[in-house]
Amino acid sequence: MSQTVDRALSILPLLAEGPANLEQVAGRLGVHKSTALRLLRTLHEHGMVYRQSDQRYRLGARLFALAQQAVENLDVREIAHPHLVELNEKCGHTVHLAVYEENEVLYIDKVESRYPVRMYSRIGKPVAITVAAVAKLLLADLPEPERRALAEKLDYPLYTSRSTPHAQAFLAELAKVREQGWATDLGGHEESINCVGAPVRGADGRLVAAMSVSAPNVVVTAEELLTLLPLVRRTADAISREYSGNTRVPDTQDQKEARP
Amino acid sequence: MSQTVDRALSILPLLAEGPANLEQVAGRLGVHKSTALRLLRTLHEHGMVYRQSDQRYRLGARLFALAQQAVENLDVREIAHPHLVELNEKCGHTVHLAVYEENEVLYIDKVESRYPVRMYSRIGKPVAITVAAVAKLLLADLPEPERRALAEKLDYPLYTSRSTPHAQAFLAELAKVREQGWATDLGGHEESINCVGAPVRGADGRLVAAMSVSAPNVVVTAEELLTLLPLVRRTADAISREYSGNTRVPDTQDQKEARP
DNA sequence: AGTTCTTGTTGCACTGTGTGCAACACCCAT
DNA sequence: ATGGGTGTTGCACACAGTGCAACAAGAACT
């Protein structure tokens, strides 16, 4: 909608791929060098980009700080965290918490496995949406037309032979997940890794997040992992209960400045 | 430099404090509602802000993803990580890695303590610059005028009775750190938490990062923690060596597309 | 040392983009 | 129904953003 801002923001993902110099930025934006320079300077003033010693630009520190503050404001995360830690202490595996937002599913919290073999994933990383257990749970909760539209639009990369191959299969899987109230990913993303997930619901019954436990085959088989399902569901339910209990007050809190 | 972009970017830190509606945003920016609306829409299109169900805006998912990609591009981090893990396995305490960037020091990696009592800190969070061991190390390496200028400009919050009280004391501390090649924070940020840190240097001898080990009093006393100093320094040196070895090649790599 | 590229920076005239206004649409309360 | 509180749309004006061309500063040659 706003050309200048649009261009400026387009620089960020571009730099996320790796550092770039002025000409490269100007080139990829399709604007004159001087224009790109002004945009970069503005971004720089706000700490969004950083100019390294070789004069090339890369993403700046403020970005981290912002992402940081943003994630701290998600109250589900705050409530869920101790539960995730507790679950991790009981079973020892990696525990994830994820939310859905505008056609993306992303991890907002993670407790690392106690076993030496760990998964590669990170808070803030978008999830493999067509296969991950948490993604299935979150998408299964979308209203039918939206779910359908999204499913049609997605890519279905074949990470492994057990990845969801196409929209039709995905929608069928979502229906199943919706029905049973939990989800799995059995080697759909990485051949040797399995996950079991359960939904976290708000007071209105809608999903606000999803959580999962993941472990590689070498540590426990898929069958063994599935025995954890009741524990996972109980944890998710505990979070749901606590989250729903918190029936929204904090908004006005920061305004109040009353004296005793 | 660019008014529109400047305004748009100013919205982000504002939303980082918490969700806000159109009027609040317009008000705090000092612009008309319609202007704020257009800016927010542009930010929205880029996934930088998200519109929650009550119509208020908050920071969006893309921000996480960007910060994520940004941190992955920092090659010190990649090299350092296994060393940090190893150090954590040896001593069990929380290990941090931090860099300096434009008047800020921020954590770029962290390995959690194995003990149940954990510190509150997070990757991406700006460090308490006047007291943290890693901050002292990084600032001590700045050229004298810059260091002085920064020290004068900083605030010196008294987190505890042992916090650095003012610029003069801070500069003296930095001189000491520079001299001895390592740094501590003994209860300067939180009464009961101590840290020992050591510098990571590039091929040119300049600091590229700093690392530290932190532990609360209840687990080990400050004296006991200091006995880890040689180990911490050895780890930092190992990272320095590996980092310097990597004498910059990767730049051209992504351009190449030659046939066999 | 001189010359030629390459890349970043500055000043300026033009116009296209962002601006604020006012009117409108909408929702929730009363 | 009626009112206040929001978010949204269309439009005329002007100023902020644009691209150009000329300049500066290095690096990489000969």
Tens-place pLDDT, residues B153-169: 899 999 999 999 999 99
Q: Are B102 and A50 in contact (CB under 8 A)?
A: yes
Chain B nearest C-alpha distance from A109 (Å): 12
Q: How confident is the model at residue A124 (pLDDT cuts 50, 70, 90)?
A: low
Query: Residue B118: is its pLDDT beyond 70?
Result: no
Query: Residue B104: is its pLDDT beyond 70?
Result: yes
Query: Residue A11: is its pLDDT beyond 60?
Result: yes
Chain B nearest C-alpha distance from A146 (Å): 16
Inter-chain residue contact B67 with A69, CB threshold 8 Å? no
> What is the Cα gyration radius of chain A?
21
Mean pLDDT of the region A237-243? 89
Query: If residue A127 lies in a helix (H) or strand (E), which one and from where to where?
Result: none
pLDDT in tens, A132-185: 999 999 999 988 888 998 999 898 999 999 999 999 999 999 999 999 999 999
Q: How confident is the model at residue B259 (pLDDT cuts 50, 70, 90)?
A: very low
Across A68-77, A117-126, A219-228, A243-252, least confident range = A243-252
B126: which chain A residues are within 8 Å (Cβ-Cβ)?
61, 65
> What is the bridge-based pairing of β-strands B104-111 and B94-101?
antiparallel
Report pLDDT for A253. 31
Same fold, B3-66 and B74-245: no
Report pLDDT for A252. 30
A3-16 vs A33-45: helix axis angle to the nearest 10?
80
pLDDT in tens, A178-226: 999 999 999 999 888 999 999 999 877 788 899 999 999 888 999 999 9
Between CA A5 and C1' C21 the distance (Å) reads 23
Inter-chain residue contact A64 with B123, CB threshold 8 Å? yes
Query: Residue B211: is its pLDDT beyond 90?
Result: yes
Q: How far apart are CA A56 and CA A21, in angstroms?
A: 4
Task: Please check whether strand C approaches the CB of B31 to within 7 Å.
Answer: yes
| Protein CB footprint (7 Å) on chain C nucleotides | 7-12, 17-22
B183, B187, B188, B189: CA torsion to nearest 10: 110
Query: Residue A256: is its pLDDT beyond 50?
Result: no
CA distances from B137 to A113, A202, B112, B142, B163 (A): 32, 46, 21, 9, 16
Report pLDDT for A123. 64
Query: If residue A192 lies in a helix (H) or strand (E), which one and from where to where?
Result: none
What CATH architecture applies to the domain B3-66?
Answer: Orthogonal Bundle (1.10)
Task: Please check whether strand C approaches the CB of B34 to within 7 Å.
Answer: yes
Enumerate the domain spans of chain B: 3-66, 74-245
Between CA B62 and C1' D16 the distance (Å) reads 28
What percent of chain A has a predicted confidence (pLDDT) above 70?
89
Query: Residue B178: is its pLDDT beyond 90?
Result: yes
Between CA A22 and C1' D23 the distance (Å) reads 18
Q: How many contacts (CB atoms, under 8 Å) link A and B?
A: 165
Q: Higher-confidence residue: A13 or A72?
A: A13
Report pLDDT for B106. 85
Please give the CATH number for the structural domain made up of B74-245: 3.30.450.40
Residue written as tokens 């907002």? A108
List the single best residue of B51, B58, B68 to mutate versus A (max A Cβ within 10 A).
Answer: B68
| Mean model confidence pLDDT for chain B | 85
Q: How confident is the model at residue A245 (pLDDT cuts 50, 70, 90)?
A: low
List A242's β-bridge partners, or say none: none
pLDDT in tens, B56-103: 898 987 887 888 777 777 778 888 988 998 999 899 899 999 988 888
Other CB atoms within a 10 A radius of the CB of residue B29 amount to: 17
* Token output for B73: 């591009």
Report pLDDT for B40. 94
> What burial letters (b/e) apply to A145-176, b meaning 16+ CB within 10 Å?
eebeebbeebebeebeeebbeebeebbebbee
Report pLDDT for B253. 31
Report pLDDT for B202. 82
Query: Residue A127: is its pLDDT beyond 50?
Result: yes
Q: Are A137 and A145 in contact (CB under 8 A)?
A: no
Residue A226 per-residue DSSP state: H
Q: How far apart are CA A179 and CA A168, in angstroms?
A: 17
pLDDT in tens, A73-123: 777 888 898 899 899 989 989 999 998 887 888 888 888 776 654 445 566
